[in-house]
Amino acid sequence: MTKVDCDVVVVGAGFAGIYALWKAEQQGLSVRGFERASDVGGTWYWNAYPGARCDVASYNYAYFFNSDVVREWDWSDVCSRQGEIQQYLSFVAEKCDVTRLITFDTRVLTTTWSEEAGLWTVRTSGRETVVCRYLVLAVGALSEPKAPDIPGVDSFEGEAWFTSSWPRDSEVDLKGKRVGVIGTGSSGVQCVPEVAKVAREVVVFQRTANFVTPTLSGPMDPELVEELRADPEAVRNGLRKTYGGNQPLYIGSDRFSELDEEGREKALWHAWEQREVALAFWDSHLPDANAAISEFIRQRMHEVVNDPWTADQLVPWDHPYGGKRPCKSDVYLQTFNQPHVRLVSLRETPIEQIVSKGIVTSAEAFDLDVIIYATGFDALSGPVRALNITGIDGMAMNDQWADGPVNYLGTMVHGFPNLFLPSSAMSPSVLSNMATLAEQQIDFIFDKIRWLDEHGQARLHPTAESQEFWRDETLRYAKRVPGALTTDSWYNGANVPGKPRRYMVYRGGFSRYNDACYRELEEGFPGYEVLPGRAA
Ligand code: FAD
Ligand code: NAP
């Protein structure tokens, strides 16, 4: 009989992994964690680039399972900086006494299911082999950097840094240097203004312009903090009943379709002042309302940039608001008004190659001391695909996902029993507050495990039919979102050359998602195959 080393293995020590470790111990299960970083934090460990901060309000982008944590932790800003969020996650890990369970600097390489034993075997870069009953791959949605698909990357002789794995052990000194930044997604947008504060010259290489709206940044409202601390459990339950897993500052109460021109303009300005322009109307998600919101933001963006050509380039004309992940910044666009900051439009003059001295476009050669790659991630399915996962009958996850990821309720895959994938594809995921999601998904995962134990069952995995149903549901909701299927974005895999194109985010909303999960539990998991025979 195969020896079981522990009940649960958790891979990853970000929001989801930390909570999973705590939850396992609370449920009386033995557990081990593995993390390839040297500390906890996940996203907030790796993305330590200048300017990195959250854009969901910190008072919501936090755990609510532990009242002491809610009461003892003070955020310094509504949009906290990377270092503070990482400190928070260390604080929670210590408070919940889970750090001791994690083996750091260790990558999980392969995970193999034995149908006969009903167990997972996990192999690590530390040459350890661990056998467990349940495997939680809390490996994140945005943790696998995208390799830069630009010729000559390795020939650059200056310094090259990635926002997605910013060095922590040495200071990056950009003072007085000529710095090129490739990429203008959320990371580039946050990083460029900070780089411009110290660099001698900044050249921003933009392929696709993005929507940029003001942040929620500012001091915490003491009354709100008191309200959250009074009843964390109620906040937690309340967040799960929202569309995005957070409490927006404002949602317009009027329908776009029922307002005249003047009413629409008034609603847009009001929402803009509340810093929630995307929610200006009750029906903001409908195409006409979305078009008006998109146009309004374009105008606001255009008017803050002095140079007309640069303003034209920075405004996204080619996709509607929400087609790609919109960015937030109070200073990004204004940075281009500084004389030492220049925009290069790669749509007009593409990069031909990177050479030893810098970047060569079809029009010009740029000599640089530093290149910063803010080029994004192999998102959602990438971190799972980077592992070598084998399920029933030797089926490889990467073969099952050859045409794009499939799963049921965003957390389990047919043919891979007792394997759980929080934060992955086909959940509200990156379009929700992912701290709320981490708690909800980990709760659901451990509710499943408890249910199995209570019912004398050993394993479960979704049926192929449930998985197909969920794929169709994800597509059905995506079709309702303007630009979701027609815009190239990392939501649908278009950012990684050769990646199968599949819309990977469930857009039905957090509340509907939570209900669908818990309906399964209440009804005894009709969408799953449940098997007896608990492993020793
Ligand atoms: P992660 O935090 O990504 O943690 C996964 C961990 O798994 C990583 O530490 C990684 O090293 C580890 N890992 C992966 N594979 C292996 C392996 N094979 N072996 C060992 N370890 C492995 N979301 C929001 O809701 N609001 C925001 O404002 C927000 N801001 C963001 C800003 C940035 C710069 C980025 C990149 C993302 C942001 N996100 C935001 C999304 C963010 O990823 C999630 O909010 C959240 O941090 C995810 O937590 P997680 O635990 O699921 O995954
Ligand atoms: P991203 O949104 O995928 O942006 C990558 C950028 O690099 C894009 O502008 C992309 O252009 C460009 N790019 C990629 N490959 C290129 C190439 N070969 N040549 C030229 N340009 C290239 O990645 P990200 O900015 O790291 O953000 C990823 C996600 O992380 C965000 O969407 C968000 O969910 C999260 N995030 C959040 C925050 C926050 O404020 N809370 C901050 C950072 C990140 P194209 O668009 O043309 O592909």
The residue type of 99 is: T
Find all residues with CB under 8 Å of 432, minimum gap 6, and list them. 244, 245, 246, 510
Q: pLDDT for 307-351, tens place per residue? A: 999 999 999 999 999 999 999 999 999 999 999 999 999 999 999
d(CA 458, CA 180): 54
Q: For residue 143, which atom of ligand 1 is closest to its CA?
A: 3
According to the model, what pLDDT value does residue 420 have?
Answer: 98
What's the CA-to-centroid distance between 128 and ligand 1, angstroms?
Answer: 24
305 C-beta closer than 6 A to ligand 1: no
Q: Which residue's CA is the nearest one to ligand 1's atom 48?
A: 140
Cβ contact 400:406 at 8 Å = yes
With respect to residue 390, please indicate whether it lies within any of the assigned structural domains.
yes
With respect to residue 17, please indicate whether it lies within any of the assigned structural domains.
yes
> What angle, rounded to 10 degrees, do the helices at 261-273 and 287-303 form?
60
With respect to residue 34, please indicate whether it lies within any of the assigned structural domains.
yes
What's the CA-to-centroid distance between 428 and ligand 1, angstroms?
Answer: 15
291 φ, ψ to 5°?
-65, -40
Q: pLDDT for 84-114, tens place per residue? A: 999 999 999 999 999 999 999 999 999 999 9
Expressed as residue numbers, the domain containing 408 is 6-144+378-458
With respect to residue 496, please indicate whether it lies within any of the assigned structural domains.
no
Q: For residue 377, which atom of ligand 1 is closest to its CA?
A: 36
Q: Alpha carbon 504 to chain centroid distance?
A: 12
Ligand nearest to the CA of 488: 2
Cβ contact 418:133 at 8 Å = yes
Q: Which CATH number is 419's domain given?
A: 3.50.50.60
Mutation to probe ligand 1, out of 111, 143, 380 (largest number of atoms < 8 A from CB): 143
Ligand nearest to the CA of 490: 2
Tokens 């996940």 correspond to 42
Cβ contact 321:293 at 8 Å = yes
With respect to residue 393, please indicate whether it lies within any of the assigned structural domains.
yes
The answer to pTM > 0.85 is: yes
How many domains does the chain fold into? 1
CA atoms within 13 A on the CB side of 225: 14
Q: pLDDT for 121-145, tens place per residue? A: 999 999 999 999 999 999 999 999 9
With respect to residue 332, please indicate whether it lies within any of the assigned structural domains.
no
Mutation to probe ligand 1, out of 142, 186, 239 (largest number of atoms < 8 A from CB): 142
d(CA 497, CA 504): 16
The secondary element (H helix, E strand) that includes residue 72 is helix 67-72
494 φ, ψ to 5°?
-70, -15
Read off the pLDDT of each residue in 443-447 and give the average, rounded to a whole number: 98
Q: Which two tokens stand for residue 188?
A: 């580039």
With respect to residue 100, please indicate whether it lies within any of the assigned structural domains.
yes
pLDDT grade, residue 504 (50/70/90)? very high
Closest CA to 36 of 103, 121, 110, 112: 103
Q: What is the CA radius of gyration of the chain?
A: 23
332 C-beta closer than 6 A to ligand 1: no
Q: pLDDT for 166-225, tens place per residue? A: 998 778 999 999 999 999 999 999 999 999 999 999 999 999 999 999 999 999 999 999
With respect to residue 67, please indicate whether it lies within any of the assigned structural domains.
yes
- Is 536 a residue whose pLDDT tops 50? no
Q: pLDDT for 235-277, tens place per residue? A: 999 999 999 999 888 999 999 999 999 999 999 999 999 999 9
What's the CA-to-centroid distance between 142 and ligand 1, angstroms?
Answer: 5
Q: pLDDT for 10-50, tens place per residue? A: 999 999 999 999 999 999 999 999 999 999 999 999 999 99
